[in-house]
């Protein structure tokens, strides 16, 4: 019923508008078309001027209303470069925006048709044209220069001491893998992926480097002020690791690994204070269309101190033990076996057992 | 409008039909359906494009309902779309993604490529260069009918059980290649590929025809540097289309093979829904290169014709020559060339080599220079003019405003450093909707209001035109200006509900406002459509040959030109198209010989 009324009102409003428009056409014929054309010419000229003034005020108002809802400080060292670049670009384009929009609407208003004026025959002017070719070219060169300087800083090689985490996207979740004590991520082969045998990432168990690799889902822990390098992949379709607070973004492509690195500046706890939002968390958003759950493909990054991280890491169990509970030294059913892979696992397991004591 | 109608020549349409040079007896079918008259084909493209625009626009209203009012129920949606797609009156995610995909596909390809180029290239090329028809009227007719077939196939995909393609208008594999990855990757995706293949054929036939007509069929005296900028614009547009569309077609053929024949061009190491795929060795990023090799030139295919229209309309209504005619052609050429060298700026964060990315930054920001030249030249054309605000002129001024606003944000996105932050956020949605969505529509509206008298021998109602302009301009800014802020906050595009997110849920009120404005703006477009069709039959009649007092050749034809355009000889051209307010004369048509002491531009 409500819908019916809305449609009825719209149709009625439209009919009234149409009748007025139609009548105005007849009236203009009666009153002399030229006169009413001049009149509507002036009305539109004034409206253009009004649009300019109200529009510029609107731009200011919009900024005042929304500026506190956009990003807080960059939560990564590298992201500060992006923020600087953003300010440079906003200053330059903002200046051009205001000048050109004022020129456009002011000219339109000022030079509205009048009997007192004849238009000025002005087909070209070489100096002017050179000026507004050269100035944009120089300005853009400056912006390209700044942009590429930061771009290479951000996309360059990760520092040697960077912590490595593997990120894997799949419809519609994020999986993470830490290399464990040996600092080597074990080999993977996608055909080994099998949720039923607790091998969600397709780790090759014959590779001993895999035996201490830690796997988590949905949540990744990293250390404040320590560079972290993500090695990014996907299982099914293209996803994208979007880290808005760290100013980072990189596609996750099946079959083609990609990387990103950054240095987090604030722990999650500090960021809660900076933003004044007790519910704040760093989120990973999927920024590449990946299917019906794309909008809900959310991950969480927890930035913490080294001690907090170590405590958390200590509580994690390698995926190898999840897949093979009988190889887990902390499991009562633990049976040491004699294969080489097994012994490596045992030695890691023993180490862990020792540290735990 | 007495002043405009002061010309004494009144030619009735009746005479024309018998005196037409190429006039021959035509049945209804050969005259209106399988017509080979470029003017009729232009109208066919236009009306098909308008139908698509209404559908595509309606889709945006539907997903704006979801975005503005997530979780709310609109029972009418269930009534119309059934329980599968809108159970309880809320839009299912699958439906949402089908809607955005079709919105993009329809508007970019069917409306702003076929509807725009198809209309104005067909209508204006023969009329403005002084030709009786296209170089190959038959190919021209086929071009429309391939577009029609493409439309039928795409339309049919809306009605199949699994729905249309739903992987975004860019149809990136593997999502679009794997039947199991999404319901939109079932039959709907095959139909999408077939439809676009037919569409590419249509574009090629049209484009080759436009190019050869402009090069070969210009009337006596019409040198290339005397062509109106509209012709230069559609000429370059056709070249871009002819060179870029085949690459998309090849990319889509490989995608079709991957989907249905088990090849691995784009697929490697994939496990979807727990099912291990045998494909190894393909590269998903290859498709992105092939797609954007068309995809970026495509946005220039959309905007170049409207740049031509706007140049023409601004010059005529300012009663001044377009400023820097040669620079305008030069910048069109520069844009055409550079448009092929910037495609990978869509892929800065795809994992592409950063060094390669840096070249695309350079070339992308370079393309801002010809765009800036064009803008400054339009501004200078207005300067010291004597401006008439016809609805066409207002839409052209609106075009320049939107082009500035949307163009400047391109400088953000083209800079790879900022693109890391802004890529695939609402910022890029705001950017391209302003600069090539709404701006292109403004150019198209401008052209329609301006050439409607030539197309149908009647005027559109100007009051409705003014209302249409003001509501659309204000609405466009209300919708897309604040959207930049959502993008600056990092809000990803293609998210149907932001409430589960801590980072993006602060814009609920804004989204609601945008949705309400979008619905109003859509309603006003329906009013335009009504004005259009009403005016075809009931609009005020054109009584003079040259209602806008323009210089170009189309206004030397009879009010309702028959097939062949000029009843007698084709007029000879003696000057460029922009002698307005020269030597104390309001306008000097191109057909007027140069006076003894006159200095001429071209």
pLDDT in tens, A93-106: 999 999 999 999 99
How many other C-beta atoms can be found within 10 angstroms of the C-beta atom of residue B329? 18
Tokens representing residue B287 in the block: 């498709």
Q: What total of structural domains would you count in chain B?
A: 1
Mean pLDDT computed over every residue of chain A: 90
Whether B597 maps to a domain, the answer reads: no
pLDDT digits (tens, 9 = 90+) for B426-485: 999 999 999 999 999 999 999 999 999 999 999 999 999 999 999 999 999 999 999 999
Query: Looking at domain A163-356, does it have CATH number 2.60.40.1180?
Result: no
Report residue B592: phi and psi, to 5°.
-85, 130
DSSP letters along B189-239, please?
HHHHHHHHHHHHHHHHHHHHHHHHHHHH-PPTT--GGGS-HHHHHHHHHHH
- With respect to residue B429, please indicate whether it lies within any of the assigned structural domains: yes
The mean pLDDT value for A123-141 works out to: 93
* Token pair listed for A157: 């090689």
**Å from A338 to nearest chain B CA?**
32
Q: How far is CA B447 from CA A337, B129, B230, B314, in A?
A: 81, 17, 10, 11
Sequence-distant (6+) residues with CB within 8 A of A285 are A242, A244, A297, A298, B490, B492, B495, B501, B503, B504
Write down the pLDDT at residue A351.
42
A26 touches chain B (CB under 8 A): no
State the maximum Cα–Cα separation within chain B, in Å, rounded to a whole number: 84
**Chain A: nearest CA to B595, how far in angstroms?**
17
Integer Cα distance of B390 and B397 in angstroms = 11
The domain that holds B279 is classified in CATH as: 1.20.210.10
In this complex, which of A82, A117, A250 lies closest to B417 when CB atoms are compared? A82
B464 vs A18, A129, A236: nearest CB: A18
Range of the domain at B149: 3-22+32-319+330-587
Do residues A5 and B441 make contact, with C-beta atoms less than 8 angstroms apart? no
> In this structure, are residues A344 and A208 in contact, taking their beta carbons and an 8 Å threshold?
yes
Q: Which residues pair with B492 in a beta bridge?
A: B425
Residue B599 falls inside a structural domain: no
Average pLDDT of the residues of chain B: 93
- For chain A, give the longest Cα–Cα distance: 106
Which of A93, A235, A293 shows the shortest C-beta gap to B93? Answer: A293
Q: Report the C-alpha gap between B371 and B380 in whole angstroms.
A: 14
The pLDDT score that the predictor gives to residue A22 is 82
With CB atoms and an 8 Å threshold, state whether B385 touches A21. Answer: no
Does residue B595 fall inside a structural domain?
no
- The answer to whether residue A339 scores a pLDDT higher than 70 is no
How close does chain B come to A353, measured CA to CA in Å?
A: 34
Q: For CATH 2.60.40.420, list the domain ranges present in chain A.
A: 163-356
Task: List the single residue in A with minimal CA-CA distance to B496.
Answer: A295
Residue B287 CA from chain centroid, whole number: 24
Residue A343, pLDDT above cutoff 50: no
For the residues B513-519, what does the mean pLDDT come to?
Answer: 96
Average pLDDT score over residue span B560-585: 94
- Bridge partners, residue A284, by sequence: A299
Percentage of residues of chain A with pLDDT beyond 70: 93
Would you state the structure tokens that stand for residue B311, as one six-digit string?
Answer: 């140049």
Q: Spell out which residues of chain A touch residue B387, defining contact as CB-CB under 8 Å.
A: 45, 108, 111-113
Do the strands B585-587 and B580-582 form a parallel or antiparallel pair, or are they unpaired?
A: antiparallel
Tokens of residue B77, six digits: 């949606």
B444 located within any domain: yes
């Amino acid at each position: 019923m409500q819908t019916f009324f809305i449609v009825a009102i719209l149709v009625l409003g439209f009919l009234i508008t149409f009748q007025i428009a139609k009548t105005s056409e007849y009236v203009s014929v009666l009153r002399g078309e030229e006169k009413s054309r001049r009149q509507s010419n002036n009305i539109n000229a004034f409206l253009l001027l009004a649009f300019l003034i109200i529009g510029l005020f609107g731009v200011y108002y919009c900024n005042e209303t929304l500026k506190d809802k956009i990003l807080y400080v960059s939560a990564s060292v590298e992201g500060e470069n992006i923020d600087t670049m953003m300010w440079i670009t906003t200053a330059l384009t903002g200046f051009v925006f205001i000048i050109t929009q004022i020129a456009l609407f002011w000219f339109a208003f000022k030079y509205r048709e009048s009997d007192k004026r004849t238009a000025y025959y002005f087909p070209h002017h070489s100096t002017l044209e050179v000026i507004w070719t050269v100035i944009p070219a120089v300005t853009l060169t400056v912006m390209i220069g700044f942009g590429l300087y930061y771009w290479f800083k951000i996309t360059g090689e990760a520092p040697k001491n960077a912590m490595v985490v593997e990120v894997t996207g799949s419809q519609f979740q994020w999986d993470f893998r830490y290399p464990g004590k040996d600092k080597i991520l074990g080999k993977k082969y996608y055909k080994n992926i099998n949720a039923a045998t607790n091998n969600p990432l397709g780790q090759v168990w014959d590779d001993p480097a895999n035996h201490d690799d830690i796997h988590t889902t949905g949540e990744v822990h990293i250390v404040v002020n320590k560079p972290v390098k993500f090695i990014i992949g996907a299982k099914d379709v293209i996803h994208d690791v979007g880290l808005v607070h760290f100013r980072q973004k990189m596609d996750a492509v099946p079959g083609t690994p990609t990387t990103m690195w950054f240095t987090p500046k604030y722990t999650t706890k500090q960021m809660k204070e900076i933003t004044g939002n007790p519910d704040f968390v760093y989120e990973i958003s999927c920024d590449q269309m990946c299917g019906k759950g794309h909008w809900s493909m959310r991950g969480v990054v927890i930035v913490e101190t080294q001690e907090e991280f170590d405590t958390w890491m200590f509580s994690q169990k390698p995926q190898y033990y999840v897949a093979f509970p009988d190889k887990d030294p902390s499991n009562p059913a633990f049976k040491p076996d004699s294969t080489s892979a097994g012994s490596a696992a045992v030695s890691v397991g023993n180490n862990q057992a020792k540290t735990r004591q | 409008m007495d002043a405009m109608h002061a010309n004494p020549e009144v030619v009735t349409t009746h005479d024309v039909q018998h005196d037409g040079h190429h006039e021959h007896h035509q049945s209804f079918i050969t005259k209106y359906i399988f017509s080979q008259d470029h003017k009729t084909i232009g109208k066919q493209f236009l009306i098909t494009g308008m139908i698509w625009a209404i559908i595509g626009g309606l889709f945006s209203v539907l997903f704006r309902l979801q975005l503005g009012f997530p979780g709310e129920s609109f029972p009418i949606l269930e009534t119309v779309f059934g329980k599968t797609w809108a159970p309880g009156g809320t839009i299912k995610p699958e439906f949402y993604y089908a809607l955005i995909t079709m919105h993009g596909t329809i508007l970019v390809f069917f409306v702003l490529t076929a509807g725009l180029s198809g209309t104005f290239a067909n209508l204006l090329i023969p009329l403005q260069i002084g030709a009786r028809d296209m170089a190959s009227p038959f190919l021209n007719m086929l071009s429309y009918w391939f577009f029609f077939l493409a439309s039928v196939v795409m339309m049919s995909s809306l009605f199949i059980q699994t729905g249309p393609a739903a992987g975004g208008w860019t149809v990136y594999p593997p999502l679009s290649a794997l039947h199991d990855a999404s319901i939109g990757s079932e039959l709907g995706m095959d139909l999408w590929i077939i439809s676009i293949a037919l569409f590419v054929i249509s574009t090629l036939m049209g484009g080759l025809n436009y190019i050869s007509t402009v090069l070969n069929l210009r009337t006596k005296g019409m040198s290339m540097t005397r062509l109106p900028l509209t012709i230069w614009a559609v000429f370059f547009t056709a070249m871009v289309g002819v060179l870029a569309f085949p690459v998309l077609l090849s990319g889509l053929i490989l995608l079709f093979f991957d989907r249905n024949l088990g090849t691995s061009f784009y697929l490697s190491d994939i496990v979807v829904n727990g099912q291990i795929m045998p494909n190894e060795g393909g590269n998903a990023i290859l498709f992105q290169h092939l797609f954007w090799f068309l995809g970026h030139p495509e946005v220039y295919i959309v905007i170049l014709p409207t740049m031509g229209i706007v140049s023409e309309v601004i010059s005529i209504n300012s009663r001044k020559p377009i400023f820097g005619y040669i620079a305008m052609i030069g910048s069109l050429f520069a844009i055409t060339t550079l448009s092929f060298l910037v495609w990978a700026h869509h892929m800065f964060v795809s994992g592409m080599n950063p060094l390669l990315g840096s070249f695309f930054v350079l070339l992308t920001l370079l393309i801002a220079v010809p765009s800036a030249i064009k803008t400054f030249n339009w501004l200078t054309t207005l300067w010291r003019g004597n401006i008439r605000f016809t609805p066409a002129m207002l839409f052209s001024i609106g075009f320049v405003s939107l082009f500035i606003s949307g163009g400047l944000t391109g400088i953000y996105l083209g800079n790879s450093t900022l693109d890391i932050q802004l890529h695939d956020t609402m910022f890029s949605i705001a950017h391209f909707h302003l600069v090539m969505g709404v701006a292109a529509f403004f150019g198209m509206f401008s052209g329609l209001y301006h050439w409607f008298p030539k197309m149908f021998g009647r005027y559109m109602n100007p009051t409705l035109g003014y209302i249409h302009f003001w509501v659309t301009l204000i609405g466009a800014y209300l919708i897309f200006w604040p959207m930049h802020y959502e993008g600056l906050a990092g809000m990803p595009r293609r998210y149907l509900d932001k409430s589960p997110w801590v980072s993006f849920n602060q814009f609920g009120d804004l989204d609601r406002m945008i949705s309400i404005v979008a619905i109003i703006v859509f309603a006003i477009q329906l009013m335009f459509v009504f004005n259009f069709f009403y005016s075809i039959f009931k609009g005020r009649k054109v009584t003079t040959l040259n209602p806008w007092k323009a210089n170009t050749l189309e206004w030397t034809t009879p009010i309702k030109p028959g097939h062949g355009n000029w009843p007698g000889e084709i007029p000879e051209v003696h000057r460029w198209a922009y002698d307005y307010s020269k030597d104390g004369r309001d306008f000097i048509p191109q057909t007027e010989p140069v006076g003894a002491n006159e200095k001429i531009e071209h």
